[in-house]
Amino acid sequence: MTIVYFIAGLVFLVVGAEILVRGASRLAAALGISPLVIGLTVVAFGTSAPELAVSVKAALNNQAGIAVGNVVGSNIFNVLFILGISALIIPLAVSKQLIKFDVPFMIFLSVSVLLFALDGQFSRTEGIIWFSGLLAYIAFLFYKSRQDSRKAAKEVDPEVAELLGDPSEKQAWAKNIGFIVIGLVLLVLGSRWLVDAAVTFAQYLGVSEVVIGLTIVAAGTSLPEVVTSIIAAIRGERDIAVGNVVGSNIFNIMAVLGITSIIAPAGIPVEASTIRFDIPVMIGVALACLPIFFTGQTISRSEGAVFFAYYVAYTVYLVLAATSNPSLDAFGKIMFYGILPLTALGLMVFSMRQLRSAKI
């Protein structure tokens, strides 16, 4: 039965992502808004449903601290793994709106997580601030996009553009929402079955629960984002591919942490190790997006490879730390005193060249 669940989960993920991306792009056309906004909102928020479900359930069970690791780990995974894999498949064009507004906003939110965590917990007031900001963010995106509906029509694929000239098809938004819902349901079911099967395989092979938790389970709630972004990139809906990741990170902080902080009886406790290491890593990953995004306004295959390599290094570090491996100290020194500074220097050089050659 395990192999059946594994295969069924994989099929549901691929089919669900295909239906979701198709419905999302058509919904953008029907509503007269850009695919980027759909990617930042409907697709991003929908694929983050597993993170929200896990965090809310944990809060109701007085285990709200799980939400912190869930959000921080997912945000790191989204950028390094998902954008890395997607860019390796096909270079991703990046919208100027992302560079000028959404990515800086994601960085601002990531910093707010650290500031709110300094007292050792996220309070209900801080949760209300995040969730209220999310409502304002959504309203701003839709208002801004509707002002430029003609431009949005040019951004969609040809088969969608044909719908704009047919008055009867302009009411097809309800059908497209149905496609999105079906796609999301398939994604959630597929990710759950795939993760359960993978955990069973890992246990059969004798892999420790710590390693399973840090790898399979940690990545499991982000599987919908992975498959959706890859399918979107393959189908040429690159705004949806990139917007899905940025929007998911924004949603994870403002909705997942926000709602969980509001409903948790005593707020969300934040461990000192998370404040010292994981949250700063999340901020660093968010900061890395900005220079990479505006160096040519494209995430190239080489940049995707850098993202993916850093996710592998981050996972190795977590596994070494969790198992108290003696190699941890040497690995940490190589990363923090060698590879990271060189990468930062390279990003600075590329950024300066881009700023000199073009205005963003």
CB 354 within 8 A of CB 294: yes
Classify burial at 319, counting beta carbons within 10 Å of its beta carbon; exposed 0-12, middle 13-18, buried 19 or more: middle
Residue 289 has pLDDT above 60, yes or no: yes
Convert the pLDDT of each residue in 177-215 to its tens digit: 888 888 878 877 876 776 677 667 666 766 554 455 555
What is the predicted pLDDT for the residue at 358? 55
- For residue 164, the model assigns a pLDDT of 44
According to the model, what pLDDT value does residue 156 have? 47
**pLDDT > 90? residue 36:** no
Mean pLDDT on 254-271: 86
Q: Which of 46-60, 107-121, 185-199, 344-358 has the lowest mean pLDDT?
A: 344-358
Given a cut of 50, whether residue 152 has pLDDT beyond it is no
d(CA 9, CA 5): 6
- Count of domains for the chain: 1
Per-residue pLDDT at 277: 83
Q: Nearest CA to 232 among 56, 16, 48?
A: 16
SS3 state at 153: helix
Name which of 5-14, 274-283, 324-333 the model is least confident about. 5-14
Look at 186-190, 273-277, 298-302 and tell me which has the smallest mean pLDDT.
186-190
Instruction: Name which of 139-153, 205-219, 268-282, 309-323 the model is least confident about.
Output: 205-219
Of 159-163, 240-244, 259-263, give the range with the top mean pLDDT: 259-263
Decide if pLDDT at 153 tops 80. Answer: no
CA distance 135 to 192: 29
Is the distance from CB of 281 to CB of 158 less than 8 angstroms? no
Q: The whole model's pTM is what?
A: 0.78
Least confident window among 45-54, 175-184, 284-293? 45-54
| Residue 253: predicted pLDDT | 93
pLDDT digits (tens, 9 = 90+) for 72-88: 888 898 899 988 988 89
At 111 the pLDDT is: 95
CATH number of residue 191's parent domain? 1.20.1420.30
- Two tokens, residue 294: 């505006």
Q: Please provide the average confidence, as pLDDT, over all residues in the chain.
A: 77
What's the pLDDT at 113? 95
What is the dihedral sign for C-alpha 281, 199, 248, 15? positive
Antiparallel, parallel or unpaired: β 92-93 and 298-299: antiparallel
The whole-number pLDDT of residue 104 equals 93
Domain region containing 129: 2-357
**Neighbouring C-beta atoms of residue 336, cutoff 10 Å:** 11
**pLDDT of 242:** 85
- Residue 102 pLDDT > 50: yes
For residue 229, what are the CA distances in angstroms to 85, 113, 235, 356? 9, 25, 10, 31
C-alpha atoms less than 13 angstroms from C-alpha of 182 in its C-beta half-sphere: 12
Of 157 and 142, more confident: 142
Q: Rounded CA gap, 163 and 169, in Å?
A: 6
